[in-house]
Amino acid sequence: MIHKTDRVVITGCGGMLGEAVFDIFKDACQVRASDIDLNVPWLERLDVSVAKDVALYLEKVKPNYIVHLAALTDMEYCELHPEEAYATNTGGVQNVVEYAREHNIPLVYISTAGIFDGGKDEYTETDVPNPLSVYGKSKYGGELVAKTLPKSIVIRAGWMMGGGPKKDKKFINKIIKQLRAGSKELAIVNDKFGTPCHTYDLAQSIKYLLDNNEYGLYHGACEGGGSRADISRYLLECLGLDNQVKVKEVDSSYFAENYFAKRPRSEKLINIELKKVAPHLTRDWRICLKEYIDRFNWNLWDLNTSGMERSFYKNYFKIEKEHWLMVVRRMIVEDNLKSYSVKPPRETKVLDFGCGSGIFVDEIATLGYKAHGLDISEEAIKFGVLQGIKTWELLMRTKLIFLTILLMRSAPLMS
């Protein structure tokens, strides 16, 4: 069981999976998150391919657990830079394994469905790997090294879904970027099959297996699977764009120039071992994809809103922000607020009922109050968020209960 005082080193934590792993581990133990790419403030720099840096870092931190996520995951980059790929994806594992062996601590290594050649329709943990690409081979090398440890947990992941608009480098975000660029027809391959893998579920599996000392080899993807075309069609449904955007099915030769690394026909994983110990952590990919899309703001407002609505909210936002009547009205309310508040601003909650695109809520928050906005129009709220109004918490229609509670507690009401 991981305890609050345990130190857990997470390598490659600035990536898609790292975002979820950090979230799941951060309150449970002392996390030391590192990456070669310092894209968030809580990361320390560690290049796992440099043996002496890894040894020095680990000797200094003295971890009780290592979660090794660091890898070069761009398959084309790996084809073009095989030495770097092996140094990172196999050599990096060797470097952390040495410390783990010497100190007899558990290590988690994330492998990939890409270690199989795709000749079968789906793969269990006992199927024989035969990687086709440099990425697959270098990751399989890492797997073999990790498995030499008595306390290793090797989890083979599927098509990763996670990280959100900023960190997701893979299929889901590639499609969303095309949508944002205005594509009304997506060319998607129908001859590659796989199982999506939700980073939050995988992060929970990592924690669960470590907590319960369940060492061994696992497949850790979602349940089910399909072709890339199947996944993109469901993605469009989740985004509410299935009636506006068409999926044009193509075969892999269509992308042969850009995606030249050899990919297996099927990378579908079956989670036999994980289901034995943690069946609650293997959910259907559709549920996970919907959850992933709902977790982040993908800034697709423009695509879901008609031109007329767009221009209405643009004008409305401008008027709300600049018109003298609105400005004076806000000044009066702010003045009143000061006289109503018995507590200092940071302990005073203010609800703007009918907040529109949220200018006033933002101003109130800037004055130090705990400001909330509520509006019947989800579009107005989304528009406010797109304009950079971020300091306040949004309460949509479904949270009207909050208002009732507030009124029942006889909070001062200004109208």
Ligand X SMILES: NC(=O)c1ccc[n+]([C@@H]2O[C@H](COP(=O)([O-])OP(=O)(O)OC[C@H]3O[C@@H](n4cnc5c(N)ncnc54)[C@H](OP(=O)(O)O)[C@@H]3O)[C@@H](O)[C@H]2O)c1
Q: Is residue 17 close enough to count as binding ligand X by CB under 6 A?
A: yes
290's tokens: 């919907």
Q: Is 387 helix (H, G, I), strand (E, B) or coil?
A: coil
What does 219-267 look like in DSSP terms, one character per residue?
Answer: E---B--EEHHHHHHHHHHHTT-TTT-EEEEE-GGGGTTT--S---SEE
* Residue 28: CB minimum distance to ligand X, A: 20
Among 22, 29, 32, 35, binds ligand X (CB under 6 A): 35
Q: Is residue 93 close enough to count as binding ligand X by CB under 6 A?
A: no
Number of chain residues interacting with ligand X (CB under 6 A): 29
Distance separating the N- and C-terminal Cα atoms of the chain? 54
Cα gap 49→51, rounded to integer Å: 6
Residue partners of 319: CB distance under 8 A and separation at least 6: 326
Among 29, 66, 69, 146, binds ligand X (CB under 6 A): 69
Question: Dihedral of the CA atoms 338, 343, 347, 350 (nearest 10)?
Answer: -40
* Residue 393: CB minimum distance to ligand X, A: 29
The torsion angles phi and psi of 15, rounded to 5 degrees, stand at -95, -165
Interface pattern 257-286 for ligand X (x via CB under 6 A): ------------------------------
> 158 or 356: whose CB is closer to ligand X?
158
* Residue 124: CB minimum distance to ligand X, A: 17
Residue partners of 217: CB distance under 8 A and separation at least 6: 125, 147, 154, 156, 273
> 57 or 215: whose CB is closer to ligand X?
57
Q: Is residue 73 close enough to count as binding ligand X by CB under 6 A?
A: yes
Among 10, 18, 58, 193, binds ligand X (CB under 6 A): 18
Among 100, 105, 157, 395, binds ligand X (CB under 6 A): 157
Among 64, 90, 94, 112, binds ligand X (CB under 6 A): 112
Among 64, 88, 94, 282, binds ligand X (CB under 6 A): 88
Cα gap 392→362, rounded to integer Å: 6
Among 70, 78, 355, 365, binds ligand X (CB under 6 A): 70
> 32 or 382: whose CB is closer to ligand X?
32
Residue partners of 122: CB distance under 8 A and separation at least 6: 225, 266, 268, 269, 270
* Residue 11: CB minimum distance to ligand X, A: 6
**CB 306 within 8 Å of CB 243:** no
Q: Is residue 10 close enough to count as binding ligand X by CB under 6 A?
A: no
Cα gap 185→312, rounded to integer Å: 27
Q: Is residue 170 close enough to count as binding ligand X by CB under 6 A?
A: yes
Q: Is residue 189 close enough to count as binding ligand X by CB under 6 A?
A: no
Q: Is residue 219 close enough to count as binding ligand X by CB under 6 A?
A: no
Alpha-carbon torsion (101, 102, 108, 110), positive or negative: negative
Residues in the site for ligand X, rule: CB under 6 A? 11-12, 14-18, 35-37, 46-49, 69-73, 88, 92, 110, 112, 139, 157, 159-160, 169-170
